């Protein structure tokens, strides 16, 4: 069990640099963290926890795919990669459009999503866990990121690289969950503020919608 204590014993090179790098990578804003912060601020900490769980499982599946060689499959089949990439971008754009529609409804005074046009409020009925899980799984570039990032810290010639990837993944997940927990508390702090200031909540929805559409465009590049 020494490899749980010493990163070097499981084939990891320069673990301090990896640790700092993971922190900076996680702090860089993306659709996953943006969704957790927003849903926690609009629906409360329980929704934020469910969204975080979806991201945790989604990232775990992607990192498991890396360990099993999914990146090689995507690289050898550009058509599969492009299909997943397009689906991911379409999902992000759909989410962004929904947030913009919801923001416009809120701006017009429908504070509790009970206005006459129920079709504009479908985002409010989506399960946060499923939304976050789909956000995580529909980003094929994450697989290539994990491959390129993890590879920098795996000792060349190590006999069991699967153990190395598992260790690196566990560290990344622990830091990620700590960060998402902070976002949940931040969102919960603003929950009552948004309830009493619906126009600010509407502005948040509009901003999130625009950012998600921007992420969709970036995914296609």
Instruction: Specify if 191 maps to a domain.
Output: yes
pTM of the model: 0.72
Instruction: Specify if 20 maps to a domain.
Output: no
Residues in the chain, overall count:
221
Tell me, what's the pLDDT at 191?
76
Q: For the chain, what is the domain count? A: 1
Contacts of 57 (CB under 8 A, 6+ apart): 133, 136
Tell me, what's the pLDDT at 115?
42
Instruction: Specify if 46 maps to a domain.
Output: yes
DSSP state of 155: P
Instruction: Specify if 15 maps to a domain.
Output: no
Instruction: Specify if 25 maps to a domain.
Output: no
What residues of the chain score a pLDDT lower than 50? 1-3, 110-121
User: Is the Cβ–Cβ distance between 28 and 178 less than 8 Å?
Assistant: no
Tell me, what's the pLDDT at 161?
72
Tell me, what's the pLDDT at 139?
75
Domain interval for residue 207: 31-220
Instruction: Specify if 70 maps to a domain.
Output: yes
Instruction: Specify if 77 maps to a domain.
Output: yes
Q: Give strand ranges (E) for the chain.
A: none
Instruction: Specify if 116 maps to a domain.
Output: yes
User: Is the Cβ–Cβ distance between 150 and 165 less than 8 Å?
Assistant: yes
Tell me, what's the pLDDT at 119?
39
Tell me, what's the pLDDT at 178?
92
Tell me, what's the pLDDT at 113?
44
Tell me, what's the pLDDT at 117?
40
């Amino acid at each position: 069990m020494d490899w749980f204590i010493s990163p070097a014993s499981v084939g990891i090179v320069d673990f301090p640099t990896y640790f700092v790098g993971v922190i900076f990578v996680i702090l860089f804003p993306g659709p996953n963290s943006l969704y957790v912060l927003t849903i926690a601020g609009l629906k409360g900490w329980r929704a934020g926890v469910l969204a975080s769980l979806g991201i945790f499982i989604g990232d775990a599946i992607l990192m498991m795919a890396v360990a099993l060689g999914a990146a090689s499959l995507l690289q050898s089949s550009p058509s599969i990669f492009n299909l997943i990439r397009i689906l991911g971008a379409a999902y992000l754009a759909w989410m962004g459009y929904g947030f913009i529609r919801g923001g416009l409804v809120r701006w017009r005074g429908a504070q509790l999503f009970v206005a006459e046009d129920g079709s504009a409020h479908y985002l409010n009925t989506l399960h946060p866990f499923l939304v976050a899980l789909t956000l995580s799984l529909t980003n094929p570039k994450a697989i290539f990121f994990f491959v390129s990032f993890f590879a920098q810290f795996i000792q060349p010639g190590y006999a069991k690289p699967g153990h190395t990837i598992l260790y690196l993944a566990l560290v990344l997940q622990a830091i990620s969950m700590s960060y998402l927990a902070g976002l949940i508390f931040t969102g919960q702090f603003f929950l009552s503020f948004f309830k009493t200031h619906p126009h600010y909540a509407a502005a948040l929805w509009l901003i999130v919608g625009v950012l998600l559409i921007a992420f969709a465009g970036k995914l296609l590049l």
